[in-house]
Amino acid sequence: MVQWVTFLVGQRVMTVRDDEIADVVRDAVVEHRSGLRAPITASMDYHDGRLELVDLREHEARADVLVLLRPAAGVVVDGVLAMVDEDALEVEEAVPDGLLPHYVRAVLRRPDASGSRVYYVDLAAFAGLRAQRPSRPGA
């Protein structure tokens, strides 16, 4: 069963599907590296090698890393909140093109009373590792 991995970047709650990432590393030891070109600015030890990282944190108190399937890199976030079942989040009304950043795939919400919004993102695009996806024809 597919799950949502919810995480924080600053105060924004975002999510990806667990089948879109390779791994979650909590409390990672992130090493900032001079001489690396943005968006890659850090690395960490990972499975007997080094994994290049894009650091999106707004607060450096914690370092949780979402490891991408492709490209082989990690994205450092302010914190992984939870893994929740797919039906724990539902799609809000469609948002017209151009009203949200290119990396937002959909706006989701919790079906409970809180109704809080969660942004479903293309994590590689959000991290600057993939070019902006083209807008739809006629949009």
Got the DSSP string for 64-120?
EEEEESSSS-EEEESEEEEEEEGGGSEE-SPPPTTSS-TTEEEEEE-SSTT--EEEE
> What is the per-residue pLDDT for 24?
97
Q: What is the rounded CA–CA span in Å between residue 132 and residue 119?
A: 17
Domain count, the chain: 1
Element holding 123 (H helix, E strand): helix 123-126
Q: What is the rounded CA–CA span in Å between residue 79 and residue 13?
A: 10
134 within some domain: no
Report pLDDT digits (tens) over 84-127: 999 999 988 776 677 889 899 999 988 876 778 899 999 999 99
| Residue 77 · residue 57 · CB < 8 Å | yes
138 within some domain: no
b/e string for 9-41 if b means 16 or more Cβ within 10 A? beeebbbbebebbeebbeebebeeeeeeeeebb
> Which tokens belong to 92?
């809000």
In this structure, of 10-24, 41-55, 95-109, the range with the lowest mean pLDDT score is 95-109
Element holding 133 (H helix, E strand): none
- Which domain does 43 fall in, by range? 3-126
Report pLDDT digits (tens) over 49-93: 999 999 999 988 889 999 999 888 999 999 999 999 999 999 887
12 within some domain: yes
Element holding 54 (H helix, E strand): strand 49-55
66 within some domain: yes
